[in-house]
A and B are shown apart, each in its own frame.
Chain A
Amino acid sequence: MKNGSLSRLWLVVLALALALAVLGGCSKKPPVVTEPAPVEQAPVEKIAEAPKPEPVQPKGPDYENLEPSKYGIEDVFFGYDKYELDDAQMGVLNRNARILKEAGVTVMVAGHCDERGTIEYNIALGEKRAKIVRDYLVSLGVAPGKVKQTSYGESRPFNAGHTEADWAQNRRAHFERP
Chain B
Amino acid sequence: MRATCFLVLAACCLGSLPALAQGGGRTEVSIEHTATAVLKTDLRVGDFRGLGDDRGVQETAARLREVLANDLLLSGLFRVGGPGFPDKELPFSWTTEATVERGSDGVLVVNLNLLSWPDRQLVLTKRYKPAPEQVRTTAHHFANEVVRTTTGSEGIALTRIAFSRGRGDRRDIYVVDYDGEGLLRLTANRTLNLCPDWSPDAARIAFTSYRGGQQGLYFLETATGAVRQVLSMEGLNLGADWSPDGKELLISLSKSGDPEVYRITPEGAIVKRLTVSPAIEISPSWAPNGRELVFTSDSSGTPQLYMIDREGAGKRRVTFEGKYNDSATLSPSGEWLAYATREDVLTQIVVMRPGGEDRRIVTDASWRNCEDPSWAPDGRHLVFASDKSGTSKLYVYDVVENGFRQLTFGNDPDITPGWSH
Query: Do the two chains bind?
Result: yes
Tell me the A residues contacting B by CB distance below 8 Å. 81, 108, 115-121, 123-125, 127-128, 131, 149-152, 155-156, 178
A131-B257 CB under 8 A given contacts A118-B327, A119-B416: yes
Q: Are B280 and A121 in contact (CB under 8 A)?
A: yes
Q: Are B415 and A128 in contact (CB under 8 A)?
A: no
Tell me the B residues contacting A by CB distance below 8 Å. 168-169, 171, 192, 194-195, 210, 213-215, 235-236, 238-239, 252, 254, 257-259, 280, 282-283, 296, 298, 302-303, 324, 326-327, 340, 342, 345, 347, 369, 371-372, 415-416
Q: Are B347 and A151 in contact (CB under 8 A)?
A: no
In whole angstroms, how far apart are the Cα atoms of A156 and B171 in the complex? Answer: 11
In whole angstroms, how far apart are the Cα atoms of A81 and B301 in the complex? Answer: 10
**Closest residue on chain B to residue A167 by CB atoms:** B345
In whole angstroms, how far apart are the Cα atoms of A142 and B1 in the complex? Answer: 75
Q: Please give, as numbers and ranges, the residues of chain B lying within 8 Å of A120 by CB-CB distance.
A: 195, 238-239, 252, 282-283, 296, 326-327, 372, 416
Q: Which 6 A-B pairs have the closest CB atoms?
A: A118-B326, A124-B280, A124-B259, A124-B282, A121-B326, A156-B168
In whole angstroms, how far apart are the Cα atoms of A108 and B210 in the complex? Answer: 14
Contact of A124 among B168, B194, B238, B416 (CB under 8 A): B238
Contact of B236 among A108, A118, A151 (CB under 8 A): A151
Question: In whole Å, how far is B345's beta carbon from the nearest beta carbon of chain A?
Answer: 6
Q: Please give, as numbers and ranges, the residues of chain A lying within 8 Å of B371 by CB-CB distance.
A: 118-119
Q: Are A117 and B342 in contact (CB under 8 A)?
A: yes
5 contacts between A and B (CB under 8 A): A121-B280, A131-B235, A149-B235, A152-B169, A155-B169
Given contacts A120-B416, A124-B238, A152-B169, 11 further A-B contacts (CB under 8 A): A116-B345, A116-B347, A118-B326, A121-B298, A121-B303, A123-B236, A124-B236, A128-B280, A149-B235, A152-B192, A155-B171
Q: Please give, as numbers and ranges, the residues of chain A lying within 8 Å of B215 by CB-CB distance.
A: 150-151
**Closest residue on chain A to residue B345 by CB atoms:** A116
Q: How many A-B residue pairs have CB under 8 A?
A: 83
In whole angstroms, how far apart are the Cα atoms of A152 and B192 in the complex? Answer: 9
**Closest residue on chain A to residue B214 by CB atoms:** A150
Q: Please give, as numbers and ranges, the residues of chain A lying within 8 Å of B171 by CB-CB distance.
A: 155
Question: In whole Å, how far is A171's beta carbon from the nearest beta carbon of chain B?
Answer: 15
Q: Are A127 and B169 in contact (CB under 8 A)?
A: no
In whole angstroms, how far apart are the Cα atoms of A151 and B210 in the complex? Answer: 10
Q: Are A118 and B258 in contact (CB under 8 A)?
A: no
Q: Please give, as numbers and ranges, the residues of chain A lying within 8 Å of B326 by CB-CB distance.
A: 117-118, 120-121
In whole angstroms, how far apart are the Cα atoms of A149 and B283 in the complex? Answer: 21
Q: Please give, as numbers and ranges, the residues of chain B lying within 8 Å of A152 by CB-CB distance.
A: 169, 192
**Closest residue on chain B to residue A125 by CB atoms:** B280
In whole angstroms, how far apart are the Cα atoms of A117 and B323 in the complex? Answer: 11
Q: Are A150 and B210 in contact (CB under 8 A)?
A: yes
In whole angstroms, how far apart are the Cα atoms of A118 and B302 in the complex? Answer: 13
Q: Please give, as numbers and ranges, the residues of chain A lying within 8 Å of B194 by CB-CB distance.
A: 119
A121-B214 CB under 8 A given contacts A131-B254, A155-B169, A156-B168: no
Q: Are B303 and A127 in contact (CB under 8 A)?
A: no
**Closest residue on chain A to residue B302 by CB atoms:** A81
Q: Please give, as numbers and ranges, the residues of chain A lying within 8 Å of B324 by CB-CB distance.
A: 81, 117, 121
Pick the most buried of A108, A121, A123: most chain B CB atoms within 10 A of its CB.
Answer: A121
Question: In whole Å, how far is B193's beta carbon from the nearest beta carbon of chain A?
Answer: 11
Q: Are B282 and A155 in contact (CB under 8 A)?
A: no
Q: Are B282 and A121 in contact (CB under 8 A)?
A: yes
Question: In whole Å, how far is B171's beta carbon from the nearest beta carbon of chain A?
Answer: 7
**Closest residue on chain A to residue B168 by CB atoms:** A156
Q: Please give, as numbers and ranges, the residues of chain A lying within 8 Å of B258 by CB-CB distance.
A: 128, 131
**Closest residue on chain B to residue A122 by CB atoms:** B326
Question: In whole Å, how far is B196's beta carbon from the nearest beta carbon of chain A?
Answer: 12
Question: In whole Å, how far is A57's beta carbon from the nearest beta carbon of chain B?
Answer: 31
**Closest residue on chain A to residue B171 by CB atoms:** A155
Q: Are A118 and B372 in contact (CB under 8 A)?
A: yes
**Closest residue on chain A to residue B167 by CB atoms:** A155
In whole angstroms, how far apart are the Cα atoms of A126 and B238 in the complex? Answer: 13
Question: In whole Å, how far is A12's beta carbon from the nearest beta carbon of chain B?
Answer: 39
Q: Please give, as numbers and ranges, the residues of chain B lying within 8 Å of A127 by CB-CB distance.
A: 235-236, 254, 259
In whole angstroms, how far apart are the Cα atoms of A115 and B194 in the complex? Answer: 16
In whole angstroms, how far apart are the Cα atoms of A38 and B369 in the complex? Answer: 73
Q: Please give, as numbers and ranges, the residues of chain A lying within 8 Å of B254 by CB-CB distance.
A: 124, 127, 131
In whole angstroms, how far apart are the Cα atoms of A146 and B283 in the complex? Answer: 30
**Closest residue on chain A to residue B281 by CB atoms:** A124
A121-B192 CB under 8 A given contacts A127-B235, A150-B210, A152-B169: no
